[in-house]
Structure 1
């Protein structure tokens, strides 16, 4: 293995190892349905203090801190880019209270926990307590993705995490300036002036850069292929300039920059945001691996009973007290208050800023400042593991998950769509039919199916629909071009293997064939819209059958020779739609959904079709 001096990994190998462990942990977490953050933390501890293979401080040297700082800046910029005002619908009051009231209360409660539970001095407790306001978008985003919360509690946690990150860093700066005044001869007026000037410059820089980028993009002054590179360069420039004026103010600047760009209706906003999300997945992975690997055994060994008491006091007392007080007498339901109060995972910003200010406090004579980094790591590790495993169960207990089973979104209110929706509903799966034509939804409403009147690609749908409830999309309107547009647009969000559409009428012609990057997958009998509706109107119906040891797939085929399999549902609740050439699984307990001709005995009895 190529290494440098004293067993250090070559920097390129170190980067490769961090990338492989980070992405590998996320993939493994997806396969095992576990919190990705927990696996990333474990992987970093194993290759770092565990096996000694990776030591970021040794292997990357002076580059480590700038790397982490830049990564955090990009993560916060992407976080700001995801904060569209429309997503605040129904949660604005709660978010405002969590930031305006909850942040100062959290600072005070955290400082008390640090002083009385961890035994730190008031100076160190004040600085560290400010940093502890942050709840970490690096952690919240993966946890929300896994927990599948309802829209409002998810918005509360997401907005609080992203907005309070720079607020917490600036609170630490304020407390640090006060400590400097008390410990040195620096004047209070000078310290206050430095803080105010830094915050103003950071705000102006962030908003100006966001406004300038938005204007340049909207006027076509930047070609499409350069928009993402230009944004990255702007983020790095704004962060560096702001940080040069006041340490940690760069976090505020890039968050404001992202927030402004998210709310100016850029035509290329979706593409920009998706690229940032991909970059953020890589950065979050890498930063957490570095965070865990950079801990040494001596630091971990220094964690004692006081550290445990501090973590318990923070999780069980300080966080709940601040949140419940901030949300008291608000319109936020009590279940959501409890979920937010007992969900406060900390992330990489806490450790990075704690390490910086801990060293600075030690330099000016505050000896217990050196205790900040290990306590910060203990809090991050404990809250990541705790909330990683408890957020979804707690949300389920409080009734705040979007759905126990991920459902299906059907676009197009035809008789075929209603028949399929009824069959899936009978399997206890959430189903919604969306259509911009109100008349097309009449049959669905009469059948008791949940509906959305409007364009599923509209901004209104993005803000009103809890898309996290749905895992798969079927585009089944009478407009082939619109079906292709819907599946192409939603594929990055749902996954290309989870979006389907009815066959295009001219799909068989090479002149009209589309590339594989456009449209969704085929479905079941491979019918066009006209053929699909004609089947239903001629008496075909969707029917679900459970396979067993006595009635196998072979038996089902013999009993239903004309039936066409459309989907299968495992006992664990995993729904799989079948493409025309796919074979159903022959598994005991599996429920097979198929399109079949109406049974003769039903015709004789004159029963109504389920699509009526």
Structure 2
């Protein structure tokens, strides 16, 4: 029941957040607190026991590996320098400023401040991923935040280990060369394990030593083994090993890479949900009572000074626009890794006789709670205010520059809906360019498209080239990105023939059945035109159909700008506020009495 409740609360919170456009992280924390300390429905130590800690550690390892698996260096392009600065300069600078915030804000001693300050380098990939999914940021700031969170996560853990070893040497008289040597060997060992696991798997997959149906299980087994072996030698070094392993596989150009990545994304969503529910349900209000007003001062210093100064100073001299720097500077949520690692080192410092160590755990939870709530509610509005988020009105991406797509794009542009027409054939784009429409010359599946097309501006895709196979490929590839309900494909010419019919799992939602590409082109060449009509209480769809019995309904726009194509000849059930787009024969090309 405990695992069932964790799954229901975690996934349910993410679904509600998607449905009502709310911050998923905030809902998960709220659900966990309500189920845990408030109503007592879930107590991880009571219901799950001592394996709670190891479960969280393994989940974080999988999450970090999935993050590393998304770090394809070839896709960084213009964000490469910014990422390097945030890691090489930002990590040590953030450590220093966080230590100062703890010393003079929270009032901790230098020993506890230096250890916890190292942990605070971590910005939390468990939090960043849901926030980026909700805020729909522009490509470059999203890349910078994602890379910083994933790469700095093991760096923060290693910084905490280094600071802890130094504190032990100074406080207890432990052998300094031995302790630091063990730390250096542990880091080198973790790097070696990660590299060996990554290159070994990539070679095995390339050589065909692992069958397709076993690639994901083998990947999971090697991942857990790499984490456990490295972590067993030096605590927290397993995070470094799995991140390096993911980074190697991401850049190995594996033919099965997309299948591996998508499966890992699904696993990560489940694990992030579960970990946050466990984290919130484990909260003990009595530990928070040990904090004073200085905890609030500490959070304010981190959010308003330490994080912004770290980012702004690190990015001095880069070509990043000031808007992007500002957004990154005021976005630094902390997550599960911070709480888990802080709790561990807090206990170890307390055992070593450093009393301030007992405050690290409660301070970590307060910081996570505060930053998750602050950034959960502020990131999307701030991104929109700075012009770094997707358009308020969902746009439409057309693949294939035909008479139909150009006509639809012209109408949508007049209705202030963002549009883009992509085509790999330069000569076919002339009609779109003549109409003043945004275009992309090239294959929408190419790496160039990933760098030049801001997909976050679009919520629907229409594949309407004269090549049925290419339409199917595009629609299938983009279905996970846009959602299968928002990917459309022009009806295939011979889909009714069993020799040419494709499985329903491939392609997008068909439209224009009975016409297809050639049918639309023929009608438009004969003088049929596309026009838009707004439906009102006084002028309903039935009234329109009575006046235009020969017109063919092609698409409609919802009151909030949602674009949908019509599949067949049957009119959908549409009410006032909708705008319909229809093909009308040449003799009925007049207006709709002021309603068009």
Q: TM-score range by the shorter chain?
A: over 0.9
Partner residue, 1:197: 185
SS of aligned partner of 2:61:
helix
Q: CA deviation at 1:583?
A: 4.3
Matches of 2:43 and 2:289 in 1, distance apart? Answer: 17
Describe the superposition over 1:34-69 as per-residue Cα deviations: whole angstroms up to 9, x where unpaired: 111111010000001110111112221110111000
| Aligned counterpart, 1:88 | 76
1:212 corresponds in structure 2 to 200
* TM superposition shift of 1:457: 1.6
SS in 2 for 1:452: strand
Which digits, 9 at most, give the CA deviation of each residue in 1:393-444, with x for residues without a partner?
1111111113222211111111211111111111111111111111111211
- TM norm structure 2: 0.97
Post-superposition CA distance 1:368-398 (Å, at most 9, x none): 1111111111111111111111111111111
Alignment of 1:150-229 (within 5 A): 150-229=138-217
Instruction: Say which of 121, 146, 150 aligns to 2:109.
Output: 121
In 2, Cα distance between equivalents of 1:113 and 1:526: 68
Match of 2:447 in 1: 459
Q: 1:339 aligns with which of 327, 337, 358?
A: 327
Q: Is the 8 A contact 1:567 1:584 kept in 2?
A: no
Q: Does 1:107 align with 2:95?
A: yes
- Shift, 1:524, TM fit: 4.4
Contact 1:584/1:592 (CA < 8 Å) preserved in 2? no
SS at 1:260 equivalent: helix
Alpha-carbon deviation of 1:602?
5.5
Q: Distance in 2 between matches of 1:124 and 1:363?
A: 12
Counterparts of residues 325-474 of structure 1 (less than 5 Å): 325-474=313-462
Residue in 1 that maps onto 2:594: none
> Does structure 1 conserve the Cα–Cα contact (< 8 Å) formed by 2:127 and 2:335?
yes
Are the aligned partners of 1:524 and 1:565 in contact in 2 as well (CA < 8 Å)? no
State yes or no: 1:492 paired with 2:477: no
Q: Confirm whether residue 260 of structure 1 aligns to residue 248 of structure 2.
A: yes
Distance 2:427 2:260 in 1: 36
Gaps of 5+ in 1: 1-12, 604-612
Question: Structure 1 residues 303 and 585, CA, compared in 2 at 3 Å: closer, same or farther?
Answer: farther
* 2:545 aligned with 1:553: no
CA distance in 1, matches of 2:555, 2:39: 47
Quick one: distance in 2 between partners of 1:511 and 1:363? 73
Match of 1:8?
A: none
Quote the Cα distance in structure 2 between the aligned partners of 1:597 and 1:173: 74
1:564 equivalent to 2:552? Answer yes
C-alpha separation in 2, matches of 1:285 and 1:407: 30
Aligned in 2, Cα 1:576/1:247: closer, same or farther, shift over 3 Å? same
Residue 477 of structure 1 is matched in structure 2 by 465
| Structure 1 length-normalised TM | 0.94
2:494 — aligned with what?
506
- Residues 412 and 475, structure 1, Cα contact 8 Å, conserved in 2: yes
Q: Bigger CA drift: 188-197 or 249-258?
A: 188-197
Change (3 A) 1:248 1:601: closer
Q: Confirm or deny: 8 A CA contact 1:565 1:584 kept in the other structure.
A: no
Structure 2 counterpart of 1:10? none
Q: 1:585 offset after TM fit, Å? A: 4.3
Question: Given the superposition, is the C-alpha separation of residues 219 and 582 from structure 1 closer, same or farther in structure 2, using an over 3 Å criterion?
Answer: farther
Q: Secondary structure at the match of 1:367?
A: coil
- Aligned partner of residue 522 in structure 1, secondary structure: strand
Q: Secondary structure at the match of 1:443?
A: helix
8 Å CA contact 1:56, 1:293 repeated in 2: yes
Using the TM superposition, give the Cα deviation of residue 103 of structure 1 relative to its aligned residue in structure 2, in angstroms: 1.0
Counterpart in the other structure of 1:610: none
CA distance in structure 2 between the partners assigned to 1:211 and 1:580 by the alignment: 51
1:6 is matched with which residue?
A: none
> 1:78 — aligned with what?
66
Deviation at residue 482 of structure 1 after TM alignment: 1.1
Measure the CA separation in 1 of the matches of 2:252 and 2:354.
46
Distance 1:371 1:482 in 2: 59
Decide whether the 8 Å contact of 1:354 with 1:376 is kept in 2: yes
How far apart, CA to CA, are the structure 2 residues paired with 1:310 and 1:335?
Answer: 26
1:318 corresponding residue in structure 2: 306
**Inter-CA distance 15–601: structure 2 relative to 1 (3 Å threshold):** closer
Aligned residues: 591
Q: Which residue of 2 aligns with 1:52?
A: 40
CA distance in 2, matches of 1:76, 1:441: 43
- What is the alpha-carbon root mean square deviation over aligned residues? 1.5
- Residue deviations 1:303-334, cap 9 Å, x none? 43111111111101110111111112221111
Change over 3 Å in CA distance of 1:553–1:120 after alignment to 2: same
Relative distance call for 1:601 and 1:259 in structure 2 (3 A) is closer
CA distance, structure 1, for counterparts of residue 117 and residue 392 of structure 2: 37
Aligned-pair CA distance for 1:570: 2.5
Secondary structure of the residue that 1:593 maps to in structure 2?
strand
User: Is 1:530 aligned with 2:546?
Assistant: no
1:7 equivalent in structure 2? none
Distance, in Å, in 2 between the alignment partners of 1:301 and 1:576 is 54
Q: CA deviation at 1:194?
A: 1.2
Cα distance in 2, alignment partners of residues 556 and 388 from structure 1 = 45
1:525–1:564 Cα contact (<8 Å) kept = no
